[in-house]
Structure 1
Amino acid sequence: MSLPATLTKPLSLFFDYMIRERGLSTYTEKNYRRQLEPIAEFLAGQDIFQWHQVDAGWVRQIASQAKRDGLKPGSIALRLSALRSFFDYLVHRGDLSANPAKGVAAPKQGRALPKNLDVDEINQLMSVDEDDPLAIRDRAMMELMYGAGLRLSELIGLDVRDIALRKGDLRVIGKGDKERIVPFAGQAKEWLMNWLRVRGQLLKGPENALFLSKLGNRISARAVQKRMAEWGQKQSVNSHINPHKLRHSFATHMLESSGDLRAVQELLGHADLSTTQVYTHLDFQHLAKVYDAAHPRARRKK
């Protein structure tokens, strides 16, 4: 279907703006394009050829059409989010006076929490007593993921120079190329030192990567996932082991011990607190105790 320039040109300007002004990646730009171009096609099919013709009613119809097309609630929410960002851009340019998608809610969706390991399962997984370089490397990776709450991409992206052993912190590059400093200690520090002592046995030439494959190159995400799953089976852990489960276990155990959601947010590198609330959960009894102790109208009179 050939779309009118009155719909496509503002989209093209928006995509260019996201890359040039906002500094977003071409991958992110493609995701916006994937969400917004079907909306333009839908509007053109309804004889809507100008973006200023779209009001809240049309936005709701866009969401309904997405549902008819078989999109799940999460995908519909993503589409509406992209549309809100586009309309914010048009408001910023002065093409619209208000964002018609602002008040339109996405369909409700269940948000399943990732499973976490309990402390006994963590101890069981980490009981790696083999002394070959690959086993030492694997335990160091698992200890560091659990000890610092790293994402898989952050773990494999670490260089040797990013580690400050004496201070007990490391520099990671998270989502959106955002840098943060993360503390680590205890077993994570001990096993990282063990790994650094044997790292040279896998080194084949100049390589800055902290964690190496058996070929001497930077280890890949797939290799980390495979090795962690294998260690889960080898150590007879009931749960399937994957890198994100270690990160989530870190967050859960830190939050259960400290109750400090903001601190856990910083440690995980979450830009939005709501993301931390999804990945870290307190049981209801704990929340009820916090409420009873903290809320002025909930305290019992002595």
Structure 2
Amino acid sequence: MDYEVLDPVQHELVIKNEFDAPEINPALAFIATLHRGTSRYTMTSKLNVVARWAGAKDLRYLNWSAIRYEHVLAFITAMQEPGEDGKPHMSPRSVNCYLSALKGVANQAFLLKQMSEEAYARIKLIKSVRFLRLAAGRAISNDESEALLSATQIEMNPIAIRDHAILCLLLGCGLRRAEVAGIKLKSISFADSSIRVIGKGDKEREVFMIPEVKDALKKWLDVRGKEGDFVFGKFFKGWKFDPSGPLTPHAVGHIVQEYRVRAGLEDISTHDLRRTFATRLLAKNVDISTVKDMLGHSSITTTVMYDLRGKARLRKAAKKIKL
């Protein structure tokens, strides 16, 4: 991304010569503390954005140890400035994600003794941007989920059987797409109807399968075979399964979109299936603390954002209006 430079102060941070860089890059040290996979990829992308805003080639060429309170404020301010379309470069939620990343890098710089306690303390004092937004996404209806699953039954080939199992796990267990992609054969217990998954922050939790999910997964494993570690993977031509590696989270999202189109449904994101799982549990009067644990959330505040029961109520009421 290219952003207009707010103030030349950030150019003080650019490393002109690789020999001027600290022995250990605090940004890379911060990334190393994150869970392997999506978290590291996402944070690397964000820190590259910050580095390029400051005029550096990428995060390797920015002197993160020299970042101070005023630099972080300059970045946050620049991201909230309107672009050519009149909208801010970033939403408040995105700005806060970047702020969290910068605080994480500053923490590593402090621990590596590359930043003073005072400089680190001043950066920590920067408050998140306050905002209030409606809950993102939507919960799909029973008819929509039935149509989505039925779309996999049109052609009963190995790929369709795999994809049906993936959709069942998303809807029936509320998994994130990265969690589905990362399931290993050894993590499944059909005797206990459970699966151990690794979620955000490298946290492991146990999820339980309803009979429909269990049956779909069994059918897929019968087709898949026993080679390899990961449950889901790619296919070669001729329906030959590749057991050498897992599907990517992006591929899981692509599968959702493919069957959404086949089913003729309105726009649905992969995460909407997770929101649907949570909303349906809450509609059945499952207490929100239990739902939080089932989703693998750290805070009930996050789980509350997945409660989309009110949308159906408001939509039903709106239909009663007559002009």
* TM-score above 0.5, yes or no: yes
Q: Residue 136 of structure 2 corresponds to which residue in structure 1?
A: 113
Between 24-33 and 64-73, report the one with greater CA deviation: 24-33
Deviation at 1:188, TM superposition (A): 0.7
- Post-superposition CA distance 1:234-273 (Å, at most 9, x none): 444x334553232221122112223422222222222343
Residue aligning to 2:190: 165
Flag structure 2 segments of 5+ consecutive residues without an equivalent: 1-10, 56-64, 84-88, 314-323
Deviations 1:13-65 (A, max 9, x none): 53354256x35655466346336546877xxxxxxx9766x47xx76554323
Confirm or deny that 1:270 pairs with 2:283: no
8 Å contact from structure 2 (residues 14, 54) kept in 1 = no
- Which residue is equivalent to 2:266? 239
Partner of 1:208: 229
Report the secondary structure of 2:207's partner residue. Answer: strand
Task: Name the residue aligned to 2:90.
Answer: 72
1:280 — aligned with what? 307
SS of the equivalent of 1:99 reads helix
List gaps (5 residues or longer) in structure 1: 42-48, 287-302
From 182, 207, 212, the counterpart of 1:187: 212
Contact 2:176 2:271 (8 Å CA) reproduced: yes
Pairing of 1:220-235 with structure 2 (within 5 A): 220-221=247-248, 223-235=251-263
Cα distance in 2 for partners of 1:11, 1:115 equals: 47
- Contact preservation (8 Å) 2:139, 2:308: no
- Matched position secondary structure for 1:147: helix
- Given residue 121 of structure 1, which amino acid in structure 2 is its aligned partner? E
SS of structure 1 residue aligned to 2:284: helix
| TM-score (norm. length: structure 2) | 0.66
Q: Would you say the 8 A contact 2:174–2:275 is kept in 1?
A: yes
Provide Cα deviations, 1:59-99, integer angstroms capped at 9, x if missing partner.
65543233337422333323332343345556766823433
Aligned to 1:137: 162
User: Which deviates further from its counterpart, 126-135 or 253-262?
Assistant: 126-135
Tell me, in whole angstroms, the C-alpha distance in 2 between the residues paired with 1:146 and 1:24. Answer: 24
1:95 maps onto 2:120 in alignment: no
Q: Report the Cα distance in structure 1 between the residues aligned to 2:43 and 2:256, rounded to whole angstroms.
A: 33
Q: Determine the C-alpha separation between the residues in 1 that align with 2:258 and 2:270.
A: 12
Which amino acid letter does the alignment assign opposite residue 80 of structure 2?
K
Larger deviation: 167-176 or 266-275?
A: 266-275
- 8 Å Cα contact 1:149/1:246 also seen in 2: yes
One-letter amino acid matched to 2:27 = F
Partner deviation per Cα, 1:203-235 (whole Å, 9 max, x = no partner) = 8xx333323433302563455444433433444
- Of residues 143-152 and 86-95 in structure 1, the stretch that sits farther from structure 2 once superposed is 86-95
CA contact 1:182–1:267 (8 Å) conserved in 2: yes
How many angstroms apart in 1 are the aligned matches of 2:165 and 2:126? 48
Distance 2:149 2:262 in 1: 11
Q: What do the CA deviations read for 1:140-195 (whole angstroms, capped 9, x no partner)? A: 22112211111222212223222101100011122233222111122111222233
1:34 and 2:48 aligned: yes
Once superposed, what is the RMSD of the aligned Cα atoms? 3.9
- Which protein has the larger Cα radius of gyration, Structure 1 or Structure 2? 1
Preserved CA contact (<8 Å) 1:60 1:104: no
Partner amino acid, structure 1, of 2:90: K
Identity in percent: 26
Rounded to whole Å, the distance in 1 between the matches of 2:255 and 2:169 is: 15
CA distance in 2, matches of 1:90, 1:234: 50
SS in 1 for 2:117: coil
> Are 1:148 and 2:160 an aligned pair?
no
Number of residue pairs matched by the alignment: 269
**CA separation of 1:11/1:249 partners in 2, compared to 1, >3 Å: closer, same or farther?**
farther
Does residue 1:122 correspond to 2:136, yes or no? Answer: no
Q: Contact 2:26–2:106 (CA<8 Å) still a contact in 1?
A: no
Letter in 2 for 1:209: F
Mark the CA change 1:39 to 1:255 in structure 2 (over 3 Å): closer, same or farther.
Answer: same
